[in-house]
Structure formats: C-alpha cells, structure tokens
Amino acid sequence: MSIGHTLLGLLESGPRHGYDLKRSFDEKFGHDRPLHYGQVYSTMSRLLKNGLVVVDGMEAGGGPERKRYAITDTGITDVSRWLAQPEKPEPYLQSTLYTKVVIALLTGRGAADLLDTQRAEHLRLMRILTDRKRRGDLADQLICDHALFHLEADLRWLELTAARLDSLAEAVRG
C-alpha cells in the first residue's frame, strides 16, 4: 500500500493535521497495522518536499504547534494517476509455503504434517476473520472477504498439494 498516496487521498476532503491523518488512516485502513506517528510525519515531510502538499496553517495545541497540511493540485493529479494505475496481481510464484514443502521432501521430513499444520492455521485465521466480518461494518466486511478469498485459494492449493505429495516427492528427489 502506498502510504503517501493514501494520505494524499485523505487530504482531498480538506486540510488536516498529522494526528488527524493518522486517526483517519487507522480507522479506515489500519485495523491490523496502524501507522506510527513517525511514519505519518516523515511521509508528510516527503510529500511537502515534492510539492504534493503545503502547510496550510499552524495551530497551537496542548503541546508544540501543529502543522495543518493541504493537498496541492499536483498532489490531486498524483492521486488520480495512482488510482488509475492497476495493481500488479500477486502470482505467489515464490511461495514460502511451497519452498517449505519441497525442503521437507528433500530432507526426508514430513511434508504431509507440514501441510496439515498449515491447513489448521489457515482455518484458525478464517474463523477469526469470519467472526470479525460478522461484527464489522461494510468496509471491514469487504477487507475480511478479500483475506478470506485468498485463504480459501491457499486451502485449495494445500489440498491439491497433499493429493500430489508422492508425485512431488519423486519429482524433487529425482
């Protein structure tokens, strides 16, 4: 995820302080990985240097003065370009899980046990996400669906690999 573009997109609704940007980011996108304040301010500094935001004002608060940032026309154009650019599909051709299965087979360890353990972990996470989805708002439901669909695909792969384990063992050892 592009933190810079996401913060710029949040600024399109109006000027905000770094604290407000962090809070808004965390509410909408950071359920599992909230931003650190340092990341917000270093990103805003870079966006300022690149002319994508300007300091729209300074306000005194309970502590040091707070900068209020506003997006520039260049920043709006940059967000538009980013939104129009498709994300590269992740083919997972360098899967750590596949590598573990092959290494287990090459070293005479139990690849079937490895697949069973991984299947159990996937199912555990799917139960957690399904529960979160039931309790969440629409945005949370959609992000949980995204993760669940990926986990379902992984489970199909685990089943297929388990069914072909003997053939795979011959292929990697031969």
The whole-angstrom separation of Cα 104 and Cα 74 is 52
Res. 110: pLDDT tops 90: no
Range with lowest mean pLDDT among 66-80, 95-109, 139-153: 95-109
Whether 139 and 28 have beta carbons less than 8 Å apart is answered as yes
- Which residues is 66 bridged to in the sheet? 59
- Percentage with pLDDT > 70 across the chain: 97
**Predicted confidence (pLDDT) per residue in 17-66, tens digit:** 999 999 999 988 877 788 999 999 999 999 999 999 999 988 776 667 78
Q: Are strands 16-17 and 53-59 parallel, antiparallel or unpaired?
A: unpaired
pLDDT in the model for residue 36? 93
Q: What is the mean pLDDT of the chain?
A: 91
> In angstroms, what CA-CA distances link 131 with 111, 123, 145, 148?
30, 12, 11, 11
What 149-153 contacts at long range (C-beta under 8 Å, 24+ apart), as own/partner pairs, is 151/122, 151/125, 151/126, 152/126
90 pairs with which residues across the strands? Answer: none
User: What's the rounded mean pLDDT across residues 157-171?
Assistant: 94
**Higher-pLDDT residue of 80, 108:** 80
